[in-house]
Amino acid sequence: IQLTQSPSFLSASVGDRVTITCRASQGISSYLAWYQQKPGKAPKVLIYTASTLQSGVPSRFSGRGSGTEFTLTISSLQPEDFATYYCQQLSSYPRSFGQGTKLEIK
Amino acid sequence: EVQLVESGGGLVKPGGSLRISCAASGFTFMSYSMNWVRQSPGKGLEWVASISASSSYIYYADSVKGRFTISRDNAKNSLYLEMTSLRAEDTAEYYCARDHYLLGSGNWFDYWGQGTQVTVSS
């Protein structure tokens, strides 16, 4: 299953609302997770099962979707949110990741 | 506190072999499936392999199938990745990640180690 994220790069300002899209090449129900990765660090899970917020993750992060189209929204960007974001499907093996979306400060 | 600590990375020549390890603590290791994920320099995440709690189910990415072997020792709370016939394109940071499964919610990778660097170069 191929996952395609858009955009690949996103420039935004603190306080902006941003949305990242992840499209699957075939239906994966709601078996999708979102991760955040900062330079030199391991990825950190934000959202699982498409829309469930991982414990400890700020509520400004939200996820939606099912089937083949999913979104990650950050309602009001904070300085610590500038990072790279990946979606991952867990419907079947191989457990593929999207190519990533790098969120940069405008 | 859940901790995953990788070790064993290093520089290896093309065609060579290497075994990397992941030491787990702070949770009941034998109850969880585990995974290896890698990231080449400046690139995205690539899932490499998964192993179920009792080692009954093992899966590999096509890019490593036949060359890499994932295994675990539940008595030692350790996960391993034996890598053979290494190629330049296997150069990457290798992360171990815990697979969390919840009935009705599916799976996700909830804890990750800090990674171990594997460099394949002559």
Instruction: Supply angle C-alpha A4, A11, B109, rounded to 5.
Output: 45
Q: Does A45 contact B110 at a Cβ distance shorter than 8 Å?
A: yes
Task: Kindly determine whether residue B106 and residue A42, on different chains, have CB atoms separated by under 8 Å.
Answer: no
Q: What is the pLDDT of residues B61-76, one digit of tens each?
A: 999 999 999 999 999 9
The predicted-structure confidence for A26-84, as pLDDT tens digits, reads as follows 999 999 999 999 999 999 999 999 999 999 999 999 999 999 999 999 999 999 999 99
- As a whole number of angstroms, the distance between CA B83 and CA B72 comes to 14
In 3D space, the residue among B67, B76, B78, B64 whose CA is nearest the CA of residue B34 turns out to be B78
A30 backbone dihedrals φ, ψ, rounded to 5°: -115, 20
Give the count of alpha carbons within 13 A of A61, CB side only.
Answer: 22
Residues A1-22 pLDDT 10s: 999 999 999 999 999 999 999 9
Which token pair is B122? Answer: 């002559």
What's residue B105's pLDDT? Answer: 83
Closest alpha carbon to A44 in A2, A95, A80? A80
Test the A interface: residue of B34, B35, B45 with most A CBs within 10 Å: B45
- So what's the pLDDT on residue B104? 82
- Please give the structure tokens belonging to residue A75: 């309602």
